[in-house]
Amino acid sequence: MASVLVPLAQGCEELEAVTVVDLLRRAGIGVVTAGLDNRPVRASRGTVLVPDTTLDDALKQQYDMVVLPGGLPGAEHLDADPRIRGVLKQMTETDRYTAAICAAPRVLAGMGLLEGRQATGFPGVLDDFDGIEYRTDAVVQDGKVITSRGPGTAMDFALALIEQLVGKEKRDEVEAGLQRPNQG
């Protein structure tokens, strides 16, 4: 079974976090949500999320993908945490997936992981970084790095993650169950 780590920081964007976790679990992917500490997470709009475990405990196992929800100040808390930087570095060195949405691609950019790549994020979040080919697509994949723009693209982002981890057939099956309107 594919496994995904979703770190949850205080002030994360709840729509992005919950959408990713929900859709990946619908696809049968093992998702572990991990708080940066042992407290419930108060998301950016006041929703309280209870992580499955702490980041310290979550990092005792390996994952196929790490997904960073955005939101402020959540993305800033992720960026400031050396454990997050460590797991992202490890994922890159072992050729596994890293994904980030909204303000969180800034974490990847700050580590140089988007240099020479196509990426997207919330408008303005990547403006301070050189060497990134900024795209306005809802979801941008460049190799094993997947980025997305914001809360309105969270469902497209999660479906793209499913496709990479378990294939297009499973993605289509999950999407059909969502009863989304035709995108055409």
DSSP per-residue letters across 26-95: HTT-EEEEEESSSSPEE-TTS-EE--SEEHHHHTTS--SEEEE---TTHHHHHHH-HHHHHHHHHHHHTT
* pLDDT tens for each residue of 20-42: 999 999 999 999 999 999 999 99
Sequence-separated (6 or more) residues with CB below 8 Å from residue 125: 102, 103, 105, 106
Of 101, 111, 182, the residue nearest 141 (C-alpha) = 101
The one-character DSSP state at 103 is: T
* pLDDT tens for each residue of 93-106: 999 999 999 999 99
| pTM (2 d.p.) | 0.97
Domains and CATH numbers, the chain: 3-178 (3.40.50.880)
Q: Do 109 and 129 form a contact (C-beta atoms < 8 A)?
A: yes
Q: Is-catalytic flag, 102?
A: yes
Percent of the chain with pLDDT over 90: 98
* pLDDT tens for each residue of 108-152: 999 999 999 999 999 999 999 999 999 999 999 999 999 999 999
Of 128, 65, 130, 131, the residue nearest 101 (C-alpha) = 65
Mean per-residue pLDDT over the chain, rounded: 97
Element (H, E) at 23: helix 14-26
What band does 78 get if pLDDT is binned at 50, 70 and 90?
Answer: very high
Average pLDDT score over residue span 65-81: 98
Catalytic residue among 67, 102, 107, 146: 102
Q: What is the pLDDT of residue 37?
A: 96
Count the residues in the chain.
Answer: 184
Sequence-separated (6 or more) residues with CB below 8 Å from residue 169: none
User: Residue 174: exposed, middle, or buried by beta-carbon count in 10 A (0-12, 13-18, 19+)?
Assistant: buried
* SS3 at position 88: helix
